Amino acid sequence: MKLIVAEKPIAAKRIAELLAEGKVTEERINSVPIYRFERNNEQYVVIPLKGHIKDVDFPKRFSSWIGTDLKELIYSDVEYAEKEKGIIAVLKEYAKKFNVAIFATDYDREGESIALEALECLQEANPKIEAKRAVFSAITKQDIEKAFSSLTELDFNLANSANARREIDLIWGAVLTRYLSIITRKLGREFLSAGRVQSPTLALIVDREKEILAFKPKPYWEVEAIFEKNGQKFSALHKQGRFWEKEKALAVLESRQPFGKVAKITVKKKTLKRPEPFNTTSFLRAATSLGFSAARAMSIAEELYNLGYISYPRTDNAAYPATINLRAIVEKLTKYGPLASDASEILAKEKLIPSKGKATKDHPPIHPVAVPKEKLSKNHEKIYELICRRFLATLSSDAVVETMSAEILVGKEPFIARGQHYLNLGWKKVYPYSQASEIILPELKEGETIKLLDMKIHEKETKPPARYSQSSLIKTMADLGLGTKSTRHEIIQKLYARGYIKGNKSIVPNRIAFAVIDSLEKHQCIILKPEMTANLEKEMDEIALGKRTKDSVVDDSRRMLSEVMEDLLKNRATIGQELRKALFEDKKQFPCTDPNCDGSLVLRKSKAGKRFLGCTNYPKCKVTYPLPQKGTIEPLEEKCEYCGMPMIRVKGKRYSFKMCINPNCKTKEEWNNRIKERNNAKQQE
C-alpha cells in the first residue's frame, strides 16, 4: 500500500482518478474524504489536506491584547498549533500502516511548507516513515504520470523559506495591529490592521492620493482643423499641440483660409509585438482589467487548475519550456467552441514559435492544458477563455500597422492629421482585450489643396496622476518587491476588507488610511519604505537557496521591528489622538436629515451588534436609519430618484449596488431582489 497526501480534496480526487487503473472509491473518516484505488496490483490511499493544517501563533499567555507587553511579544516564541484536527487525526492513523508517504501538494514555497506540516504529523505516529515528492505543474494524465514515475525529495529549504514568511508576517502584523488598535481603542471585529507588506502598499495608495489632491490643473488650448476630401471629413491638430496662452491659439484662428495645402506625408510601418506568456503578475493585471478583483481572479484560476484545465497559476516564469507540447494544446482548443476557429488557424502553421519573456526555474507560464468537460460558470469561463486567448496570442504573428502622418498648412500654420490601419492583425485577432483601432484618412498627395471646413479651439487642463487600479498597483508592488506573486492579491483584498480603501476601477483611500499613514510617516516609520520589506524578501529567497537559516532571518526581522516600536511607543498618546479623530471623521456619512439639526449621520452599532445610521447629536436628536448587515457601506453624492433621500452603495465580495437609506423606499425591494440573485448565483457556482 502507498499513501499520497494532496493539498485539497478536489486535487486529491483528480489525482486518484488519473492514477487509478480502475474505479476510485471514496470513504469519509472524521469528515475527511479518503480516496482508494489500485495501480500495478498495489493499493493506494489519497488523503487531502485543506491547505495549511497548522496555524502559526503566539503562546496562550499573549492571547489578551490589553496588558501584553508589545516589546516582549516581538521576541516571543512562535508555535505551530494544530488547526485541522480531524485531518491530523486521519494522518496519524494512516501513518501506522505505511512506510512511505508521497506528497503531491502544489510545488512552491507554500505547498512545500504544507507538505512539511503533514510530514511532521505522520512522523509523530511513525518516526520511520519516508517522504517522497511528486512534482508537477498541471493536474493532467501526462503530468501526473510523469511526476509519480520520477519522485524526488522534499525541499526543506523551500519549506523553511515559506515558514520564515509566516513567522515574520505574524510577528509584524500582530505587534503593529495591536499597537494601532489599542491606541485607538478599536478592539474586537473593527480592529485596525497593519503589516510588513500591507502598510507600505497602503502608503503607495495614500501618497498617490496626496499627489492628486495637491495637483493644480493648468489650462491649455488646442486648435483643431476639420478638412474634407471627396466627401470624407477628417481632423487635424495644430502641430504645436498645447498652447499655454489663449491669445496664441486665437491668433491661429485668424489665419483661417478656405483651403489647406498638404506639405508633407510620412508613411511608416510599425510592428506591435505579441504579448509574453502569462506569469501570475501579468495574468492578474489582465484579469483585473476585465472587472475581476485580484483575489477573485486568483481564486478562479486555482479552481480551474485543480479541475485540470489550466497549469499552476502561481509562477514568475514568462517563457514556455521546451518540454511543453504546444501543438497538442492547440489541437485540444480546436474542440472548444469559442476558440475553435482561431485555434485551427494557428494549428495550420508549419512551425509554432512562441513569444518569450523572462525565463525562471519556476513553474511554466499559465496556459490551458485541457478543454472543460462540463459547463463552466460565467466567471470561470471568462478567466479560462482569457488564459486560452493569451496562449494563442503568444503563438500568433506580430501585428503590423501602417501609420500615416500628413502635415497640412493653413496659411503658415501647420496642422497634423494622423491615421493608421492594420496590414496584419496578427495576435490582436485572437486577443480582443487589446483593441485594434483604426483611423482611416482619405488618399492625400503632397502639394495638393484640400477644403477646410472648420477650425475650433478646445480649452482643456492638465490632469493629475491617475489613481491606482488593482492592475497598476500589482505591477508597482512587483516592481518594488512588495509581497510575492502568491500574496499580492491577498494584500490588496485585506486593505479592502479592513476598510482602508474603496473603489472598483480606481482605488481611493479612506480618511483612516490617511491618518494611519500620516502618523507613521511623521515618525519616520521604516515599515512604510518598500526597501525594508523587499530586503526581507531577498533574505527569504536566500533561505530557499540554502544560504541563510530560517531562524537568522526571523531574528533579523525581530530586531528591525524592535527599532520601529521604540519610536511608536514613545509617541503613542499623540498618534492615538490623531487616529481617533480621523476614525470619527471617517464614520460621518451624511448631514442629518432633520432640517433643524446640525449633526451628521454616522455608522453606529446597537447593543445587539446591528449596524445603523445615527445622529452625532444623540440623545438630543434621535434620527436613525437601518442598514444592510453585510457588505461595506459607501456614501454616495447623489439623492434617491424616488424619495430624495441620500444614497449608499453596498459592496460585498461578489456584488455591488446602490440603495436609498430610507427603509420604506422602493430601493429596499431592489436590495432584497439583489440578495436573492446573489444567493442563487452562489448556489450555481
Per-residue pLDDT tens over the stretch 515-560:
889 888 887 778 888 888 888 889 999 999 999 999 999 999 999 9
Catalytic residues: 312
Q: What is the pLDDT of residues 435-470, one digit of tens each?
A: 888 999 999 999 999 999 999 999 999 999 999 999
Asked whether the predicted pLDDT for residue 20 surpasses 80, the reply is yes
Which pLDDT value is given to residue 520?
Answer: 84
**φ and ψ at 4, to 5 degrees?**
-120, 135
CB contact at 8 A, 263 and 408: yes
Q: pLDDT tens-digit profile of 578-592?
A: 888 777 776 667 889
Q: What Å distances lie between residue 381 and 55, 301, 309, 607, 685, CA to CA? A: 34, 10, 11, 45, 12
> How many other β-carbons are positioned within 10 Å of the β-carbon of residue 25?
12
Q: Quick one: cell of 466? A: 491617475
Give the helix ranges, DSSP H, for 609-665.
none
Residue with cell 512551425: 351
pLDDT band (50, 70, 90) for residue 648: confident
| Amino acid in the structure at residue 532 | M
Query: Percent of the chain at pLDDT above 90?
Result: 68
Q: Per-residue pLDDT averaged across 643-659, rounded? A: 80
C-alpha cell at 435: 483593441
CA 677, distance to chain mean position in Å, is 25
The DSSP annotation for 265-289 comes to EEEEEEEEPPPPPB-HHHHHHHHHH
Point out which residues pair with 81 in neighbouring strands: 55
pLDDT band at 277 (very low <50, low <70, confident <90, very high): very high
pLDDT digits (tens, 9 = 90+) for 282-294: 999 999 999 999 9
Q: What is the pLDDT of residues 92-142, one digit of tens each?
A: 999 998 989 999 999 999 999 999 999 999 999 999 999 999 999 999 999
What is the mean pLDDT of the segment spanning 371-398? 95
Eight-class DSSP state of 339? G
Domains of the chain by start residue, with CATH: 2-49+84-154 (3.40.50.140), 167-214+470-580 (1.10.460.10), 236-270+402-461 (2.70.20.10), 280-394 (1.10.290.10)
**pTM of the predicted protein model:** 0.83
328 CB contacts (<8 Å, ≥6 apart)?
A: none
Higher pLDDT, 520 or 379: 379
Asked if residue 373 has pLDDT above 90, the reply is no
The reported pLDDT for the residue numbered 217 is 95
CA–CA gap between residue 629 and residue 671 (Å, rounded): 12
Angle, CA 247 vertex, CA 243 and CA 252 arms, to 5°:
70
Tell me which amino acid residue 602 is.
V
Query: How far apart are the C-alpha atoms of 283 and 300, rounded to whole Å?
Result: 12
Q: What is the mean pLDDT of residues 197-213?
A: 95
Contacts of 73 (CB under 8 A, 6+ apart): 58, 62, 171, 174, 175, 178
For residues 299-309, average pLDDT: 94
Residue type, 365: P
Q: What is the pLDDT of residue 135?
A: 95
Q: Cell 492583425 belongs to which residue?
A: 425
Q: Is the pLDDT of residue 513 over 80?
A: yes
pLDDT at position 587 is: 67
Q: For residues 175-193, give the mean pLDDT.
A: 83
Band the pLDDT of 41: cuts 50, 70, 90.
confident
Angle between helices 530-544 and 550-570 (to 10 degrees): 160
Give the separation between CA 274 and CA 596, rounded to whole angstroms.
Answer: 64
Three-state secondary-structure class, residue 593: coil
Residue with cell 469559442: 338
Distance CA 79, CA 56 (A): 6
Quick one: pLDDT at residue 160?
A: 96
634 band by pLDDT with thresholds 50, 70 and 90: confident
**The pLDDT value given to residue 682:** 55
| Residue 683 pLDDT > 70 | no
